[in-house]
Amino acid sequence: MGQFASRRNALVRSVYFSTNEEGPPRYSSHHFDGSTMRGRNLQIPPTIIVSDEELSTSEHHGSRAELRRSSVYSTMDLVPQLGNYANSLPHQTMKSRPSLETLRKTSEVAQVGIDGGTTSDSGSQPEPDVESVESHGASEKAPVRFGWIVGVMVRCMLNIWGVILFLRLSWITSQAGIVLTCVIILMSVVVTTVTALSISAIATNGRVVSGGAYFMISRSLGPEIGGPIGMVFSFANALACALNTVGFAEVVRDLLQEFNAVMTDAVNDVRIVGVITVTILLFITLAGMEWESKAQILFFLVLLISLASYFAGTIIPPPPEKQAVGLFGYQGDIFVENLTPNWRGSEGSFFQMFAIFFPATTGILSGANISGDLKDPATAIPKGTLMAIFWTTITYLLISVTAGACVVRDASGNMSDIIVGNSTEGCVGLACKLGWNFTNCIESQSCRYGLSNSVKVLGQLSGFYYLITAGVFAASLSSALGFLVSAPKVFQCLCKDNIYPYIIYFAKGYGKNSEPLRAYLLCYLISVAFILIAELNTIAALISNFFLCSYCLINFSCFHASITNSPGWRPSFHYYSKWAALFGAMVAAVLMFLFTWWAALVTWCIILFLFGYVNYNKPKVNWGSSVQAGTYNMALSYSVSLTGVEDHVKNFRPQCLVLTGPPNQRPALVDFVACFTKQISLMICGDILLEPERRSRSQDGTDILVKWMNKRKVRSFYTPFTADSIREGAKHLLQATGLGKLKPNTLVLGFKSNWRESTPGSIEDYIKTIYDTFDSNYCLCILRMMDGLDISDDLESEVNQGFEPDEPAEHHDQQPNEDEAADDVSDEDNSDQIKTVFQNSQGKKTIDVYWIADDGGLTLLVPYLFTRRRRWRRCKVRVFIVGDEHNMEEGRNEMIALLKRFRLDVHDVIVMTDIDKRPHPKSLSRFEENVAPFRLFDEQQEGVSMQELRQKAPWNISDKEYEAFKLKSESKVRLNEIIRKNSQHTALVLVSLPVPQSDCPSALYMAWLDTLTCGLHCPAVLIRGNQQNVLTFYCQ
């Protein structure tokens, strides 16, 4: 810290926080006298200031100085800053903090950063302003942003106060009665309130941008669920715009008919008015959100005036003209009479009334759908949505009660039905007590007025009839305008995510608000198309189901995010319950089928089709969804539960640790193991990195290799491990790889094909790794490929890089450099997806199994697993066993009986009776030539002690050792002759691997492995179990 003492005056600034309504604290700085602080002897950490004062004022007008303050630990170790956590914002450059490597560097790096330079790791990029991401500069006019009242509450109330309030609520009250109508309202409110609580929880769990319900569901449940909902929800909003426009057009048509102003006919009048109306609404939306918001406020004021007119009209004493249509003011008898239901017609049932009323509550997502245009969505969405539900619920309940207390169910509208005098003999109905006789129309069921017969009751009760008509206009137009805005907004967000093809064209935004003009036109065309149909009753049922499906998945998103206990689920809105969310999801799903069962089936079929498409294509997005958290929880839970399960031979699976090196350089080895482990057991690709390789490997090398395996559809883990030697790395992987019961029990190696040209040390490493495998009680497979591998020259090696032959010193100039090796790993194009023999269809070839030694059955289990694969299913398995000529048939029958008990489909069993014969001299001479470079020939060298020869070449074979193992060597040569004779062109050959004795020289054992599998034109596998049963013919 002494380095900065003389610069304290120039560097230190007083720091205070300036706040505004739209963002977190801002850092500001002013000069002050540094002697004041020095007098107090305070140790203030140095402050790194990147000021914009020296920059062009025209380019950075209005930008603030960026202040970077270091922590007390190090001058490079910065204090927590907001910009470092803004990396999830779209199209923003992340402000990086110093890496661990930077923090561990010497102090000179820190001095450079303070003296005027900035390091690349210290984060010198401009800090993104999290609260104004959409702004393109202070010089440009800020985009329009709405608060919770105008942006959410007013919009939701306008959509909830729809035409059902004015034209259907009084009729529902006459059918269901006041009590059941209130029950219907409250049941609907329960569903919408629970959904609103779920929306509030999701909206406050991180920053919400544009996209509304689609954004929330997709970021919670992933693109597989979010994509279908985004598509369906956008389409539902476009259809809802058409529906509300048609509702407005029908009211206008009826009004024109009252004044005898018909244009053509009833149907075409609706089409003409509807198209003109939606075109005007389109121009309002194209003018921008500011104009659209002003129009919505105007509609809201009209609705308030119309509601005030209604409530004022209920307390005005009705004149005889109103009494003739059934309006008598507040009457206790009318209230009591209308408490109970009076079902009439085919629609007279509780659930029919519920189905008719519930669409009135589908406006709660109106505020969330324009989340990108809100100042603070996390605050506005919960507060505005819940307040809108509260006030609209009060309104619906009051209108239902007041209408039921003022209006009788049946009235004739005939002024002559007034009772003169006190004679009520033969009079039917409650109106008789009020001085009116509606008996004739009641008995003939021809009444045209009253709660049960007229949809214009609210207008008749109102102080001024046409104010209710204006309210109907405002309700329908505001809903249509809201849906015309929300549908393109949601669809634009879906298009930006590029989940479905051919829709990216509609993702483009225009202006400071990124208005989706193209999506506006698309929504307009859809609305016009359905307006011209002019028969939307069938579509209306689908729309209700689309909204209910959205409610269902929003609630399920909240429940699923809560139940997974992900640390990332931290909503600042705490007034929700995961069980209430689950209840809301179940109720919404049930209501879909109760309302219109066929529409519910159509909705879910569309969702499943779109889900299947996204699930098949697997878009390259990662949103940290709760599905990912749930997958982790299930994997962790099942992995832990497996630890309490005892191993059983019936459940044995070959769980393989495959020493592939970089998997894209060993495709044959990867494909071989994948053939018998995919969707069956565990596969881990181990990559042992020596120090030169670790330095040359790129940082994203692991991700590249994992993507390579995923693209190849290989189900495997990839585990790189840094070690000083191959044997050390393999030994550690054998001990530490795996988790609980998900631990490898089989090691798979590639054969060291050019072992004769390798250094003795590398051969020793290879053989000692085999020793370590058996010492660890692992099974072992060694794959050898001859000329059956179809790969390019630059990827011709099929074994672990560490087990490749080490070139002699004179060939060092031929070795590839580190950059070339790194290029092999980072090859991301299709050139490294090379097809191997294991990916080809094998037809009716044979798989030959030379079961020489009883290893527990692994030698038989692996070929059986191969035949379960589609490409190997038609292959026939032949088993070769050792026997003598006298008991050949008996031994064959015993083996057939054993295989049948194992329930293995074996085509033939062949007894090798000539295994004990002496091999051909030519084969023996070839074996001796292979071993000769590794023999000491100590008995032929006079004057040199055995100890001296051993010190020079401890891995070589002494004459005594060669003679001691001579018979075993000859048996390997003879077995190879039999294999080449019978299995030259089979699909696959599996041979029991001889277990090396502790006194067997490494070079000699390597020669045995080479001899057993040489000369074949098909893949050969040396395989050995760990002497424990992996097959059984018992049921327990």
How sure is the predictor about 1012, in pLDDT bands with cuts at 50, 70 and 90?
very high
Average of per-residue pLDDT across 72-79? 75
Q: pTM for this structure?
A: 0.72
Per-residue pLDDT, 36: 41
Tokens of 861: 């289990």
- pLDDT at position 815, please? 39
- Eight-class DSSP state of 903: T
| pLDDT, average across residues 284-292 | 82
Please compute, for residue 552, the number of CA atoms within 13 A of its CA located in the half-sphere on the CB side.
21
Return the pLDDT at 401: 94
Given a cut of 60, whether residue 11 has pLDDT beyond it is: no
Q: Which residue has the higher pLDDT, 992 or 129?
A: 992
Q: Where are the alpha helices (DSSP H) in 407-507?
A: 439-444, 457-461, 465-497
Q: How confident is the model at residue 850 (pLDDT cuts 50, 70, 90)?
A: very high
For 981-1006, the pLDDT digits (tens) are: 999 889 999 999 999 888 888 889 99
In three-state secondary structure terms, 850 is strand
Confidence at residue 609, expressed as pLDDT on a 0 to 100 scale: 92
Res. 308 pLDDT band, cuts 50 70 90: very high
Give the pLDDT of residue 94.
Answer: 53
Start-to-end CA distance of the chain, whole Å, equals 73
Which residues have a Cβ under 8 Å from the Cβ of 494 and sit 6 or more positions away?
A: 211, 214, 227, 230, 231, 234, 500, 503
Q: State the maximum Cα–Cα separation within the chain, in Å, rounded to a whole number.
A: 152
Q: What is the pLDDT of residue 534?
A: 62
| % of the chain at pLDDT higher than 70 | 80
- Higher pLDDT among residues 513 and 22, named by residue: 513
Q: Of the given ranges (39-53, 650-664, 685-699), which has the lowest mean pLDDT?
A: 39-53
**Which helix H or strand E contains 202, and what residues bound it?**
helix 169-203
Question: Which of 353, 352, 377 lies closest to 367, judged by CA?
Answer: 377
pLDDT tens profile 346-360: 778 888 888 888 888
Give the pLDDT of residue 30.
40
Mean residue pLDDT across the chain: 79
CA distance 706 to 719: 10
- Mean pLDDT over 469-487 rounds to 88
Q: Which residue has the higher pLDDT, 655 or 102?
A: 655
Name the pLDDT band for 1036 (thresholds 50, 70, 90). Answer: low
Q: Which of 16-20, 280-284, 832-836, 983-987 has the lowest mean pLDDT?
A: 16-20
The pLDDT of residue 17 is above 80 = no
The string of pLDDT tens digits covering residues 332-389 is: 889 999 999 988 887 788 888 888 888 888 788 888 877 777 888 888 888 899 999 9
Using CA atoms, how far apart are residues 431 and 366, in angstroms rounded to an integer?
43
Q: Which of the 8 DSSP states describes residue 20? A: E
Contact between residue 849 and residue 879 where contact means Cβ atoms under 8 Å apart: yes
In this structure, what token pair is assigned to residue 917?
């014969």
Contact 189, 393 (CB under 8 A): yes
Between the alpha carbon of residue 618 and those of residues 218, 223, 502, the distances in Å are 14, 9, 16
Per-residue tokens: 199: 């929306």
pLDDT at 448: 86
Which tens digits make up the pLDDT trace of 617-638? 888 887 877 788 888 888 888 8
Mean pLDDT of 421-438: 77
Q: Is the dihedral of CA 660, 663, 669, 674 positive or negative?
A: positive
Lowest mean pLDDT among 268-272, 285-289, 875-879: 285-289
Q: Residue 130: is its pLDDT beyond 70?
A: no
The phi and psi torsions of 311 (rounded to 5 degrees) equal -65, -35
- Tens digit of pLDDT for each residue in 192-221? 999 999 988 888 887 777 777 788 788 888
Instruction: Decide if pLDDT at 827 tops 80.
Output: no
The sign of the dihedral angle between the CA atoms of 51, 56, 57, 60 is: negative
Q: What gap in Å lies between CA 241 and CA 274, rounded to an integer?
A: 10
